[in-house]
């Protein structure tokens, strides 16, 4: 059984993951508006991963006999000055999520909740991958610079991203 403190913290984080989903959906439409279908595809898969993360928290709370509390999802940003700005924003957001996961791990230890700590380990690893993926895209956008041909090619490559297998 989850402690009340742990249950509230997991519910709060469920909302943070749902917000990530919402934010990335907003970025999908931003890219679609500019006919950057490859970037839109990349971000759509990112959004799908956030929904999968949300469901992991949702199901875990229930599995531990806690109660899920669905809160309002904050309105996400909708416009950015450039493709690079979108990904820099994404990086900052992912770093915030990493810090939230770290705080949850610390709380699980304080609460002596071993199962929750083990559950959260998947997210600790996932955040390393998320930040690394976004960092790689930022580097490539910077390499492409202001060359339309290079950005066109990058957009084509972003379109090749496929869904990661669910674990
Ligand atoms: Fe679910 Fe991108 O953190």
Which structural domain, as residue segments, surrounds residue 17? Answer: 4-69+81-158
Residue 76 lies in a domain: no
List the CATH number of the domain containing 14.
1.20.1260.10
Residue 167 lies in a domain: no
Residue 114 lies in a domain: yes
51-60, 66-75, 102-111, 157-166: the lowest-pLDDT one: 157-166
Residue 131 lies in a domain: yes
* Smallest CA separation from ligand 1 atom 1, residue: 50
Q: What atom in ligand 1 is closest to the CA of residue 97? A: 3
Q: What atom in ligand 1 is closest to the CA of residue 53? A: 1
Number of structural domains in the chain: 1
pLDDT digits (tens, 9 = 90+) for 92-133: 999 999 999 999 999 999 999 999 999 999 999 999 999 999
Q: What are phi and psi of 151, to 5 degrees?
A: -70, -35
The set of residues, in sequence order, having a beta carbon less than 8 Å from that of 52 and lying 6+ positions away, is 166
């Amino acid at each position: 059984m989850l402690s009340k403190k742990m249950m509230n913290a997991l519910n709060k984080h469920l909302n943070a993951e749902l917000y990530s989903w919402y934010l990335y959906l907003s970025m999908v439409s931003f890219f679609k508006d500019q006919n950057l279908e490859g970037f839109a595809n990349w971000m759509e898969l990112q959004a799908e991963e956030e929904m999968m993360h949300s469901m992991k928290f949702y199901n875990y709370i229930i599995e531990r006999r806690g109660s899920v509390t669905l809160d309002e999802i904050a309105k996400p940003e909708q416009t950015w000055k450039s493709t690079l700005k979108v990904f820099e924003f994404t990086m900052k957001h992912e770093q915030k999520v990493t810090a939230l996961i770290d705080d949850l791990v610390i709380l699980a230890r304080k609460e002596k909740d071993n199962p929750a700590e083990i559950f959260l380990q998947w997210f600790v690893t996932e955040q390393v991958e998320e930040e690394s993926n976004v960092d790689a895209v930022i580097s490539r956008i910077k390499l492409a610079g202001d060359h339309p041909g290079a950005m066109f090619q990058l957009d084509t490559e972003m379109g090749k991203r496929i869904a990661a297998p669910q674990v």
